[in-house]
Amino acid sequence: MNSLRHFTIRRVVLWMMIVSLGIVVLAGGYSSQVVRDIFRQTDRSAVLTQQLSFLAHSAIVMQSGTSADKNALVASTPADADWDNVRAALTTTPSEYATVARAQLDKVTQQLARNQAPLKADRHRLEGVLLAALLAAVALLLFCDRYLVVHLVRPVGKIRGHLKIIADGDLTREPEDLGRNCVGQL
């Protein structure tokens, strides 16, 4: 702290504000990147959830639906090549379809589980970045407080004490050297 006593208080506080702005910008930029990744993964999970919904709906239609419902179901089957077996099984018996649907359900469930791992990792990274930014901001706040106490509040108190001595009529004491900053020059 004593090495900063030769700088103006304004300059030191300005640099603290610039550093805090830099911390906010870096944390915000990285956080927006992580949130963008989270949204992409959420979109992928939404597609898989729609596929799960399709499988549940198709099981109901295969059990109790009409042939028109089954034809509509074939038309609404996802266009991926992974779904060719399901599309073909929609024209078979419900028991044969159940076997194919279970296999497809397992695939979709595994894909959902694989998508959750990076989502969880991104969330933890985001929490870590925001926590680090918060800790850095608190550290800057504490540093600023201590700096202002050491280089402004205490020296002004010393000046006030010296002015009381002068007011009492004692002009023999020299003022204490307080550095080259604003308070020291005063």
pLDDT digits (tens, 9 = 90+) for 107-133: 999 998 888 888 889 889 999 999 999
- Exposure string (b/e) for 39-67, b if CB count within 10 Å is 16 or more? eebeebeeebeebeebbeebbebbeebee
> Residue written as tokens 């918060």?
134
pLDDT on residue 174: 82
Report yes or no: 133 and 27 within 8 Å, Cβ to Cβ.
yes
Is the confidence at residue 160, as pLDDT, over 90? no
* CB of 52 closer than 8 Å to CB of 111: no
pTM: 0.64
> Tell me: the pLDDT tens digits for 57-76?
888 888 887 888 888 888 88
- DSSP reduced 3-state for 114: helix
Cβ-Cβ contacts under 8 Å for 72 (sequence gap 6 or more):
none
| 156's tokens | 């002004």
Give, as one character, the DSSP assignment of residue 30: H
Q: How many Cβ atoms sit within 10 Å of the Cβ of residue 74?
A: 15
Domains in the chain: boundaries? 2-185
Q: State pLDDT tens for residues 13-57.
A: 888 899 999 999 999 999 999 999 989 888 888 888 998 999 998
Q: Looking at residue 169, what DSSP letter applies? A: T
d(CA 150, CA 113): 55
Tell me which of 21-30, 77-86, 171-180 is least confident. Answer: 171-180
CA angle 158, 161, 166 (to 5 degrees): 125
Average pLDDT, rounded, for the chain: 86
